[in-house]
């Protein structure tokens, strides 16, 4: 399954850490990339540096027009899932979403443009209470992979220069 995360509403002066964590969560939980609807080279560089050091094929890049990215995605046969507390409950639509091969997951910040509710194939609530977009993305990706019989927590990342060796206590990082 091809999964790309589109981050909307990023405010460079306030959201750098949260947006970076959206990208890192997407990478760690099986997405292939993140599109940032803002020009923030620091966030893009940080995420791409993690991929270079820790491996994998994840990409992060800025886009000029989120509407154009969504339109192109859908024209190529992909589906769009907008994570919002105002959508349909995740358990009720998860099987339908997992039957698709190409998913763009839209993750907003403070104020999401109203248009996204209209263009999304699914507006999905990961709980109907205010909470973190990072948590919403993590739960969504984990459950999506589980319905497909995959576990992103056990995936191997190839090509990095660093690797964590699991241990009972302490930190073991190996240079490869």
Question: In which band, very low, low, confident or very high, does the pLDDT at 11 lie, cut at 50, 70 and 90?
Answer: confident
DSSP state of 113: -
Please tell me the total count of domains within the chain.
1
Structure tokens at 141: 């990706």
Query: Phi first, then psi: what are they for 71, rounded to 5°?
Result: -60, -50
Please state, in angstroms and rounded to a whole number, the distance separating the CA atoms of residues 145 and 153: 10
CATH number of residue 102's parent domain: 3.40.1280.10
Please state, in angstroms and rounded to a whole number, the distance separating the CA atoms of residues 5 and 22: 9
pLDDT tens for each residue of 66-83? 999 999 999 999 999 999
Other CB atoms within 10 A of residue 52 CB? 14
Structure tokens at 100: 């698709």
H-helix or E-strand containing 90?
helix 90-98
Task: Reply yes or no on whether the pLDDT at 165 is more than 80.
Answer: yes
pTM for this entry: 0.95
Please state, in angstroms and rounded to a whole number, the distance separating the CA atoms of residues 20 and 15: 8
Please state, in angstroms and rounded to a whole number, the distance separating the CA atoms of residues 126 and 89: 6
Please state, in angstroms and rounded to a whole number, the distance separating the CA atoms of residues 56 and 58: 6
pLDDT tens for each residue of 100-145? 999 999 999 878 899 999 999 999 999 888 889 999 999 999 999 9
Query: Phi first, then psi: what are they for 79, rounded to 5°?
Result: -115, 155
Q: Which domain holds residue 18?
A: 2-175
Please state, in angstroms and rounded to a whole number, the distance separating the CA atoms of residues 73 and 59: 16
């Amino acid at each position: 399954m091809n999964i790309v995360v589109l981050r909307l509403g990023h405010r460079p002066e306030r959201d750098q850490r949260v947006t970076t964590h959206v990208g890192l969560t997407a990478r760690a939980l099986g997405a292939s990339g993140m599109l940032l609807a803002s020009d923030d080279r620091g966030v893009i560089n940080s995420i791409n540096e993690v991929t270079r050091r820790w491996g994998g094929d994840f990409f992060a890049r800025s886009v000029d027009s989120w509407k154009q990215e969504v339109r192109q995605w859908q024209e190529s046969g992909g589906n769009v899932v907008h994570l919002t507390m105002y959508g349909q409950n995740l358990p009720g639509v998860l099987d339908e979403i997992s039957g698709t091969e190409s998913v763009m997951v839209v993750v907003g910040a403070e104020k999401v443009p109203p248009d996204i509710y209209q263009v999304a194939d699914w507006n999905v609530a990961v709980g109907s209470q205010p909470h973190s977009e990072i948590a919403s993305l993590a739960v969504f990706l984990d459950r999506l992979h589980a319905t497909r019989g995959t576990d992103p927590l056990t995936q191997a990342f190839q090509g990095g220069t660093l690797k964590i060796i699991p241990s009972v206590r302490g930190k073991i990082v190996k240079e490869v």
